[in-house]
């Protein structure tokens, strides 16, 4: 029998499973099977985005499992995100309709603004200017937020939220909202602990979802980034894992779960998908937590540098 994953409640009362499947960098041809395997294993929370360019395959996997009777639509919690080339009001509405069509759904459980800046609309997803720099738009993310509120009121997104915003940007949205953000999705792991942003987001009533919670081997390297082993290979993490007779990945996920964060590790391996759910049978003690807190690299190690 598939394990039951605990949930937290978003401000509107929607239950959100504390472990979900991330689909960033999950290749077409693999992601659909990963979603089907995850559902069979007990996952009910799935994190998607238009820019990942795999929502159609994910939607087909959902449809197959719903048709088989393994799950119902209402059993699933599915997130997607508005990409940077869809920040104007009209484009937000176009984007949500594209995503819903791809996923074969009538609504999302959560819709996020993916980044707090927009790109030139109507062309490439990563448009460049004459100097080969990203071509930005002057659309204010507050305008984008107002469009998300319209999507919410139309019933196409049960909850709306933010992703990759900083403290000042979160504050501006909160001050200019009629529907408060329910969630903030940001990169968090033992090497990038983001405590100030987490605490601020929580103080505004948001549930914080941690992407790349295991760190990432596929991370940017070079000037400005420290030469560190991946968190899964960190000696302190491995020592704590051995102490609890668990895997390093279990320690990394548990470290975040014990901070009341939601985690969305990505995998296309059925074995690892199963392993990532095996985190509810142990507890990190204060000594463990103190050692892990000391591993923060304060920005010198991150999986995603797009907003830097």
**What DSSP line would sit under the chain, residue for residue?**
-PPPPPEEE-TTS-EEESB-EE-TTPPTTTHHHHHHHHHHHT--EEE--GGGT-HHHHHHHHHHHHHHTS--GGG-EEEEEE-GGG-SHHHHHHHHHHHHHHHT-S-BSEEEESSSS-B-SSS-SS-B-TTSSB-B----HHHHHHHHHHHHHTTSBS-EEEES--HHHHHHHHHT-SS---EEEEE-BTTB--HHHHHHHHHTTPEEEEESTT--SS---STTS-----GGG-HHHHHHHHHHT--HHHHHHHHHHTTT-EE--B---HHHHHHTT--SS----HHHHHHHHTT--TTSS-S--TT-
Active site residue 52: yes
Q: Are the beta carbons of 55 and 99 closer than 8 angstroms?
A: yes
From the list 52, 191, 211, 301, the catalytic residue is 52
Biggest CA–CA distance in the chain, Å, is: 57
List the catalytic residues.
52
């Amino acid at each position: 029998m598939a394990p039951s994953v605990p949930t937290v409640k978003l401000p509107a009362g929607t239950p959100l499973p504390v472990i979900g499947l991330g689909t960033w960098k999950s290749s077409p041809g693999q992601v659909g099977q990963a979603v089907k395997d995850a559902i069979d294993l007990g996952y009910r929370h799935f994190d998607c985005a238009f820019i990942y360019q795999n929502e159609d395959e994910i939607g087909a996997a959902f449809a197959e499992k719903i048709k088989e009777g393994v799950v119902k639509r209402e059993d699933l919690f599915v997130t997607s995100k508005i990409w940077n080339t869809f920040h104007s009001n009209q484009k937000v509405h176009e984007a949500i309709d594209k995503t819903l069509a791809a996923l074969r759904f009538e609504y999302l459980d959560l819709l996020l603004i993916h980044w707090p800046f927009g790109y030139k609309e109507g062309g490439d997803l990563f448009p460049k200017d004459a100097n080969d720099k990203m071509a930005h738009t002057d659309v204010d993310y507050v305008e984008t937020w107002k469009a998300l509120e319209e999507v919410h009121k139309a019933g196409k997104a049960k909850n709306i939220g933010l992703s990759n915003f900083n403290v000042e940007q979160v504050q501006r949205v909160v001050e200019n909202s009629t529907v408060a953000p329910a969630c903030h999705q940001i990169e968090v792991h033992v090497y990038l602990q983001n405590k100030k942003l987490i605490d601020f987001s929580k103080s505004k009533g948001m549930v914080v979802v941690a992407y790349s919670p295991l760190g990432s081997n596929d991370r940017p390297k070079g000037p400005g980034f420290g030469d560190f082993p991946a968190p899964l290979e960190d000696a302190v993490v491995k020592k704590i894992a051995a102490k609890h007779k668990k895997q390093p990945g279990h320690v990394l996920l548990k470290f975040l779960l014990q901070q009341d964060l939601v985690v969305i590790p990505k995998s296309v391996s059925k074995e690892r998908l199963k392993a990532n759910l095996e985190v509810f049978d142990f507890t990190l003690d204060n000594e463990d937590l103190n050692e892990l807190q000391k591993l923060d690299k304060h920005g010198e190690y991150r999986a995603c540098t797009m907003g830097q």
